[in-house]
Amino acid sequence: MDKELTAKLSLATQSAKILRASRRIVKARQLTLRLVGHLILASGSVTMMVPVLWLLSTAFKKSGQEWVFPPVWIPHPIWWRNYLEAMEVLPVPFHRYVVNTLIITVCATAGTGFSASLAAFSFARLRFKGRDVMFALVISTMMLPGVVTLIPTFLIFKTLGWLDTFLPLIVPYCFGWSAFSIFLLRQFFMTIPRDLDEAARMDGASNLRIYWSVVLPLAKPALATVIIFQVLWRWNEFMEPMIYLNTMKNYTLALALRTFQNVRSQRINYLMALSSIQVAPVVILFFATQRYFIQGITLTGMGGH
C-alpha cells in the first residue's frame, strides 16, 4: 500500500517535472525562434540601411571628407552647416522647391482621391450595362507601359502651353489617371454591405449622397492606402517633372537635387543634406501609417478574388 502510494507519488512528481520541463522547452523554443527572427531581420536591416546611413553620414561631412578611403561612417566634426550652405548654393530659395513639391503632391493626390473613388463607387455599387467592360478597360490600362503615351501626351501639353507649369503633373490625376487606385478602392467598396445603400436609397438618398455619406466614410482604410501610395509616388517622382518643368523656380525637390550633380559635382555632402530633408517626411509618413496601409491593401483582398 505504502509502496504503491510512493510509487504513484513519485510518478506524479515525475510527470509534473516532465510537464514543467516540456513547458520550459516550448518556452525556450519560442524564445530561440524569436531571437533567430530578430537576428535575421536585424542583419537584413543593416544591409538595407547601408545606402541610407551613408546618405546621412555624408550629409554631415565637412567638404573634402566625403571621399576618404577607407570610408568613415561617423563624420568628425559633425558639420551641421552643410544644410545652410547647400540652401545658399541653390539659385532659388529652398522653400520654393518644398512649396512646389507640396502643391503638386497635394493636388495630384486629392485629384486621384476624388476621381478614383467616384469611378470605383460606380464600378462597385451601381448596376448598368457596359460596366464590366469599362472596368476591364481600367484594369488593362494598368498593364500599359506609361512610356507608350509619353510623346503624344508631351505634345498635347506643349500645344496647350502647359509646359513649365504644374498642370501636366496634376490634371491627369484629376481624371482618374491611376488605375491602381480605382482597382484598390473598387475591391474595398465591394466588401461593404449592400443593404446600407438600399436603406439609404429607400430614404430617398441620391447615388451621389450614398457615395459621399455612406460608402466613403466606411472606406477610410482603403482611401488612406490610396492616398499614402499617391503621396509617396508624387513626392519622389523624377521623370515627369524633368520632362515638363524647365525653369529652376518651378523645380520640385527631386529635380532641384540635380543642380548639385550638374554644377558642383564635388558637393555631394550638400546633395545628401538636402536629400535627407526630402526623405524625412515620407519616412515618417510610412512609419506612422504602415499598419493601416498594409491592412488597407489586405482588406481589398488584392489578387485573391
Give the footprint of another protein on residues 111-170 (CB under 8 A).
115-116, 118-119, 121-123, 126-129, 131, 134, 137-138, 141-156
Query: Which x/- pattern, by CB under 8 A, does the window 206-225 give for another protein?
Result: xxx--x--------------
Shortest reach from residue 258's CB to another protein, in Å: 5
Name the one range near another protein by CB under 8 A: 3-11, 20-28, 33-41, 85-93. Answer: 33-41
| Distance in Å, CB of 18 to another protein, minimum | 22
**Residue among 21, 40, 84, 99 that touches another protein (CB under 8 A):** 40
User: Cα–Cα distance between 302 and 296 in angstroms, integer?
Assistant: 10
Please say which residue, 183 or 250, places its beta carbon nearer to another protein: 183
Count of residues of this chain found to bind another protein when the rule CB under 8 A is applied: 95
Q: Which is nearer to another protein, 16 or 302 (CB)?
A: 302
**Contact set for another protein, span 260-279 (CB under 8 A):** 260-261, 268, 271-272, 275, 278-279
The nearer residue to another protein, 19 or 126, going by C-beta atoms, is 126
Least separation in angstroms between residue 249's CB and another protein is 19
Between CA 97 and CA 245 the distance in angstroms is 12
Question: In terms of CB distance, is 75 or 296 closer to another protein?
Answer: 296
Task: Mark out the alpha helices in the chain (DSSP H runs).
Answer: 2-59, 81-89, 94-125, 131-142, 150-159, 167-174, 179-190, 195-202, 207-209, 216-218, 220-236, 239-244, 253-256, 258-262, 268-299
How crowded is the C-beta side of 121, counted as CA atoms within 13 Å? 21
Convert residues 225-244 into a mask of x (bound to another protein by CB under 8 A) and - (unbound): -------x---x-xx---x-
- Cα gap 254→241, rounded to integer Å: 9
Closest CB 220 distance from another protein, rounded Å: 17
> What is the rounded CA–CA span in Å between residue 95 and residue 286?
23
Q: Within positions 52 to 111, which residues make up the interface with another protein, using CB under 8 A?
A: 52, 54-55, 67-71
Q: Which of 227, 225, 255 is nearest to 240 (CA)?
A: 255
Closer to another protein by Cβ: residue 17 or 175:
175
The one segment of 1-9, 17-25, 82-90, 257-265 that binds another protein by CB under 8 A: 257-265
Assigned C-alpha cell, 12: 506524479
Q: Are 184 and 222 in contact (CB under 8 A)?
A: yes
The answer for residues whose C-beta is within 8 angstroms of residue 279's C-beta and 6 or more apart is: 52, 55
N residues, the chain = 305
For residues 5 and 145, which CB has a smaller minimum distance to another protein in the complex? 145
* Window 9-28: residues binding another protein (CB under 8 A): none
Residue in 42, 176, 49, 63 with CA at minimum distance from that of residue 122: 176
Rounded distance, CA 184 to CA 294, Å? 12
Nearer CB in complex with another protein: 138/214: 138
Q: Which of 2, 133, 195, 287 binds another protein (CB under 8 A)?
A: 287
Q: Which is nearer to another protein, 11 or 280 (CB)?
A: 280
What are the C-alpha distances in Å from 264 to residues 66, 69, 259, 270? 14, 21, 8, 10
